[in-house]
Amino acid sequence: MDLMVSLGIWLFVMTLFLVDTEITLRFVGRYADPHLRLGWWTALLLVPWVTLLLSPLRTWAAAGLALAVAWGLVRHAAAYRALRRRLPGAPEGVVERVRALAREFGVRQLPEILYDPSDRMEPAAVGLFRPALVLTPSALDLPEQDFRAVVAHELAHALRRDPLRLWAGGITGAVLGWHPLIRRACRLFTLEVEMAADWQAAAWAGDRRAYALALGRWGLRRHGDHGSPVGAAFATAPAHLLPRLHYLLDPTAAAPHLRPPLGLRDPGPGRRGSGAARWAHLALAAAYTALSAVMTRVF
Q: pLDDT tens-digit profile of 195-208?
A: 999 999 999 988 88
Q: Is the CB of residue 230 less than 8 Å from the CB of residue 76?
A: yes
Side-chain-side CA neighbours of 88 within 13 Å: the count stands at 7
Whole-number pLDDT of residue 73: 95
Tell me the C-alpha distance between 290 and 108, whole Å.
Answer: 43
Compute CA 29 distance to the chain's CA centroid, rounded to the nearest angstrom: 16
Whole-number pLDDT of residue 235: 55
Tell me the C-alpha distance between 82 and 90, whole Å.
Answer: 17
The pLDDT > 90 percentage for the chain reads 62
Tens of pLDDT, residue by residue over 163-218, are 999 999 999 999 999 999 999 999 999 999 999 999 999 999 888 888 999 888 88
Tell me the C-alpha distance between 25 and 19, whole Å.
Answer: 10
Strands 132-135 and 113-115 come out as parallel
> What 3-state class would DSSP assign to 40?
helix
Tell me the C-alpha distance between 199 and 33, whole Å.
Answer: 8
Tell me the C-alpha distance between 244 and 191, whole Å.
Answer: 8
> Sorting pLDDT into bands at 50, 70 and 90, what band is 263?
low
Rg (CA), the chain: 21
Tell me the C-alpha distance between 218 and 223, whole Å.
Answer: 10
Side-chain-side CA neighbours of 120 within 13 Å: the count stands at 7
CA separation, residue 130 to residues 35, 110, 197, 202 (Å)? 21, 11, 17, 23
Mean pLDDT of 57-70: 95
Whole-number pLDDT of residue 223: 46
Model confidence at 51: pLDDT above 60: yes
Mean pLDDT of 92-107: 93
> Sorting pLDDT into bands at 50, 70 and 90, what band is 4?
confident
Strands 132-135 and 124-126 come out as antiparallel
Whole-number pLDDT of residue 268: 66
231 vs 227 pLDDT, higher one: 231
Mean pLDDT of the chain: 87
Tell me the C-alpha distance between 229 and 213, whole Å.
Answer: 26
Whole-number pLDDT of residue 225: 45
Q: Is the CB of residue 243 less than 8 Å from the CB of residue 257?
A: yes
